Amino acid sequence: MKTMKDIKAHLRRSYFRIKHDYLSFDNIIFFVAIVVCFFWTYSSLSATAKNWELSQKLTARKREQKLLELEVATIELENEYYRSDEYQELSARAKANKMLDGEHLVYLPENSEAARKKYNDTKKEDAPAEDPSNVSQWMSFLFGT
């Protein structure tokens, strides 16, 4: 069993070892340098992350600005069109049944069933034939068939 003197002696030796081995001037400088490097690295990484985030926000805002500029330009062109004589004339024709001098409005009766059937038949006949496949086109080109 250890006596009180042994414990005190052990504590004094430990204190001396810590004071002279671990708390030396060189070790303190080394520890401070490590702490400074750690904080410098952390602040650099956080600044880089913040710059990247701000760059992404700036890019998004620029993209949004260009989109809004395009929308404004489109609206300005539409306004110019609505002020044009062409639109005024088309609008007057559509809404108020206005006509130019010499024009006459003709109302046609609805198509009969025979006319609709004839139109559908001619429409089917006029439909282009299916295009030959790529392989058959090459065979025709290479072998002249």
Task: Please give the pLDDT value at position 58.
Answer: 97
Q: Is the pLDDT of residue 102 over 70?
A: yes
What is the pTM for the complete model shown? 0.44
pLDDT per residue as tens digits for the range 22-33: 788 888 899 999
3-class SS letters over the chain? CCCHHHHHHHHHHHHHHHHHHHCCHHHHHHHHHHHHHHHHHHHHHHHHHHHHHHHHHHHHHHHHHHHHHHHHHHHHHHHHHHHCHHHHHHHHHHHHCCCCCCCCCCCCCCCCHHHHHHHHHHHHHHCCCCCCCHHHHHHHHHHCC
Q: Is the pLDDT of residue 138 over 60?
A: yes
